[in-house]
Structure 1
Amino acid sequence: MKQLERLKTAMLQQLLANQRFPKVRFNDFKDSWKDYRLGEVFDEFSVKSKRENEYKLLSSTTSGMESRSGRVSGHSNIGYKVIDNGDIVLSPQNLWLGNINLNNMGKGIVSPSYHTFKIVNANPIFVNFQLKTEKMLFEYKMVSVQGASVVRRNLDMDAFKKIVIKIPNEKEQIKIASLFSSISNIINNHQNKLTQLSTLKKYLLQKMFI
């Protein structure tokens, strides 16, 4: 599994090396990649919930989107932001740590402190694979100002929207997105099997020493 993760990372670095003509790409494509500012790709929106627990409560973390079901915040969630599959969610305080995600957990609500976006002019899955590369984490850090704590930084949204990414034509985006989605699915399946084996091992050990 670690070999697959390293392969995925290496391929992403080769493809997204800030070049108009990547060294590694599918043979079918020869056109140059074009520069887009994030402000041209991310269309910010804010739709607020109108009822308590109108949709499931979600949270964006550096590890991905998570369900907050069962957690008690002690506050009403009326007025939380409504998101759907394919929407981008980011934490302005923790973006520099990689807290930016493509929602894949269906319709839900997130804290109003998050910024939420629709992807335009690009394939959402293709864009998603660029969001946490080393280059992008460096860019996020450059547009985030030290806040009240070491961990939290304040995002300069205007500067964030000026970050440049390179995007190929639509067909190449779809093919790249499909490739990396397949690799991610294989990695996730292996991880799930390891988790199941670990759970089985604990169960058997408990039964053996009762």
Structure 2
Amino acid sequence: MKETENRGRVPRLRFPEFRESGEWETIPLSQLAKRSTQKNNRGELNSVLTNSAEFGVVDQRDYFDKDIATQGNLEGYFVIEKGDYVYNPRISKMAPVGPISKNNIATGVMSPLYTVFRFNNSHNDFFAYYFKTTGWHQYMRQTSSTGARHDRVAVTNGDFMAMPLPVTLLEEQQKIADCLSSLDNLITLEAQKLGALKTHKKGLMQQLFPAEGETVPRLRFPEFRDAWQIRKLEEIADFFKGKGISKADIDPQGQTPCIRYGEVPRCFKWVA
């Protein structure tokens, strides 16, 4: 975003159909959303969610591979519905003022240490992407302070809900969200392809080299059908024999692994 002379805000890159739509506004979060303070009083909900800086809102059991919260003590936890947002005040390298993420999983409960809020308009993915930027970080730094624990941000509910957010036409907000969502889908598909290729490569490596106790690989190119041979390393490689040098000279601190020629055991290598 950049500011004009009269302090209005416009993005540096804008879709053609919105270039004449005027400047963006800045509106406090409290006018766009409300805090969700419903407690799990009867303990009916036992699906504990957490807000990870890297993965967003995830099921606690899946993320930690175990239950962190005590299942019998969830009455004080906030109820968070699908579509709600949550702020985790914990600081990390990936989230220097804590992450804000949208719950795209299901209804569950959240620790009372988190701030849960719900936008008035259900079409709000625009803000989910905005919270992945650093545009709101400066406000949090100026308004909040580190709490009793140095790894958490201390911010009052009032100051948090007063956070200024950029707002434009709903149609433009949705266009931006749709554009970024399509890129997310493409990234996911490409990541799946990459994962499949890595798995394929791993399988090939296991078959293109002889397994332990075997003399030929399970998979072989047609033009190379002769049996492989077992040779000593010294038969197929030369060692550089220069001036003698001690390990202390190579690494005085002794932190780098070092093997000299005389310490090399008898090694074998498969050769065609």
State the TM-score bracket (shorter-chain normalisation): 0.7 to 0.9
Paired with 1:125 and 1:180, the residues of 2 have a C-alpha distance of 10
Q: How far apart are residue 68 of structure 1 and its match?
A: 1.4
Q: Does 1:103 align with 2:117?
A: no
Runs of at least 5 residues in structure 1 that lack an aligned partner in the other structure = 1-15
1:83 aligns with 80
Does 1:59 pair with 2:54? no
Question: Deviation of residue 153 (structure 1)?
Answer: 2.3
Q: Structure 2 CA distance, aligned partners of 1:110 and 1:206?
A: 45
Contact 2:48 2:69 in 1 (8 A): no
Give 2:125's aligned amino acid.
I
Residue 127 of structure 1 deviates from its aligned partner by 1.0
* Alpha-carbon distance between aligned partners in 2 of 1:178 and 1:130, rounded to the nearest angstrom: 13
Amino acid in structure 2 at the alignment position of 1:27: P
TM-score normalized by structure 2?
A: 0.62
1:169 alignment partner in structure 2: 169
Higher CA-based Rg: 2
Which residue type is aligned with residue 78 of structure 1?
Answer: L
Query: Could you say if the C-alpha distance between residues 128 and 56 of structure 1 is closer, same or farther in structure 2, counting changes exceeding 3 Å?
Result: same
Corresponding residue number in structure 1 for 2:256: none
| Matched residue SS, 2:154 | strand
Bigger helix fraction: 1
Q: Figure out how many residues of one structure are paired with residues of the other and give that number.
A: 195
Q: TM-score of the superposition, structure 1-length normalised?
A: 0.78
Match of 2:193 in 1: 193
Matches within 5 A, 1:194-209: 194-202=194-202, 205=205, 209=211
Q: Distance in 2 between matches of 1:177 and 1:126?
A: 5
- Distance in 2 (CA, whole Å) between partners of 1:187 and 1:55 is 33
Per-residue displacement from partner, 1:88-116 (whole Å, max 9, x unpaired)? 01123447434210111122222122111
| Structure-to-structure mapping, 1:174-185, within 5 angstroms | 174-185=174-185
Q: Tell me, which stretches of 5 or more residues in structure 2 are unaligned? A: 213-272
Query: What is residue 8 of structure 1 aligned with on the other side?
Result: none
RMSD over aligned CA atoms reads 2.7
CA shift at 1:154, angstroms? 1.1
How big is the shift at 1:74? 5.7
In structure 2, what is the equivalent of residue 48 of structure 1?
39
Distance 2:200 2:141 in 1: 42
- Runs of 4+ aligned residues of structure 1 deviating over 4 Å after TM superposition are 50-53, 199-210
Rounded Cα–Cα distance in structure 2 between residues aligned with 1:103 and 1:131 = 13
Q: Which has the higher contact order (CA 8 A, sep 6+)?
A: 1
Give 1:138 deviation, angstroms.
2.5
Q: Which moved more, 1:182-191 or 1:75-84?
A: 75-84
